[in-house]
Structure 1
């Protein structure tokens, strides 16, 4: 096996394992002695942390989840790895977050980790965060903001790829990550449709 292949394979493993670290559970137990899996929606991500643990812990969870998505992509770009492997590493970080082997293949919904991976591929997409903030402020539904941001982000990338010259592997990775995020929100979509979804700021027991 060539050195380049070893580096690429290692990058994918790093992506999966870094993504699999359940920071929501780690901080919940360390700071408040709470296991997020047993409270609120049961998700280990920042939104459930906000409802159960408050905004300070939620912000820390978001940042850690965001950076674990960025890590393999940034490493791959610095090392000059082919975009194909960079895209796979970004996707595996999200897969690790959503289905972590450390917590019986449970996890979060991938928004922060996916956002980190995609922004590391396309830094200008950080502006899509304005859409997240706007929808959250207007509707107070974080889940709706996450879903619309995931869909909007991939549409913008597809448009940019059509107009300009973007690496198709990164575009495909963005589409895959967005699809995972929307899929992981299927229960939220059901609750949004029947009017039972919790709004921003509502704490869970």
Structure 2
């Protein structure tokens, strides 16, 4: 956001550094770049952890640390995004088909509701349901299912204000004036 606007993205919109705020304040190109970086930020520690330690638990711990670091970045005053794209990156690195299913469920939800928060929440439910089902069937390490439960619970915690607005009927929709890029 800073490279595009020459201003701190946290001074606009929701005050978050995530893709939705970048989309609403800077436009689709910087949002796509931000999404790519955030997904990579989640995938990298998982891939490195698996390579160095050959241990799914270590890889998931690295992914979890990346999500928490995105939400509360030390070098940005502990003011980051909500962690959704970074969490998606962690799951993409551990099991790409799961991440694509999660993304697909989220895209369908945002297509119906035009609300980015609903995409995140529905994608999270899909992640827990799919990882749980695969783990119960013996097709996925249990630690990945437990990771999905933990990271989705964390993402829901980060979305409490959005959930309250959804319940009140005041959550902004994409494409309805709430995502007009800022000039700068």
Superposition TM-score, scaled by structure 1 size:
0.82
What is the distance in 1 between the residues matched to 2:132 and 2:23?
Answer: 32
Name the residue aligned to 2:7.
Answer: 34
> Is residue 93 of structure 2 the alignment partner of residue 120 of structure 1?
yes
Superposition TM-score, scaled by structure 2 size:
0.91
What is the distance in 1 between the residues matched to 2:2 and 2:102?
Answer: 32
Match of 1:152 among 126, 148, 153: 126
Is the contact made by 2:102 and 2:124 (CA closer than 8 Å) also made in structure 1?
no
> Is residue 139 of structure 2 the alignment partner of residue 168 of structure 1?
no
Name the residue aligned to 1:196.
Answer: 170
What stretches of structure 2 of length at least 5 have no aligned partner? Answer: none
Is the contact made by 1:86 and 1:170 (CA closer than 8 Å) also made in structure 2?
no
Q: What is the CA distance between 1:75 and its match in structure 2?
A: 1.2
Post-superposition Cα deviations, 1:77-124, rounded to whole Å, max 9, x if no partner, equal 223432221111110000000111111111101110000001211111
Is the contact made by 1:73 and 1:121 (CA closer than 8 Å) also made in structure 2?
yes
Is the contact made by 1:90 and 1:173 (CA closer than 8 Å) also made in structure 2?
no
> Is residue 170 of structure 2 the alignment partner of residue 185 of structure 1?
no
Q: Which runs of 4+ in 1 moved over 3 A?
A: none
What is the distance in 1 between the residues matched to 2:149 and 2:105?
Answer: 18
What is the distance in 1 between the residues matched to 2:164 and 2:105?
Answer: 22
Q: What is the CA distance between 1:61 and its match in structure 2?
A: 0.3
The total of aligned residue pairs comes to: 178
RMSD over aligned Cα atoms: 1.3
- Secondary structure, in 3 states, of the residue corresponding to 2:126? helix
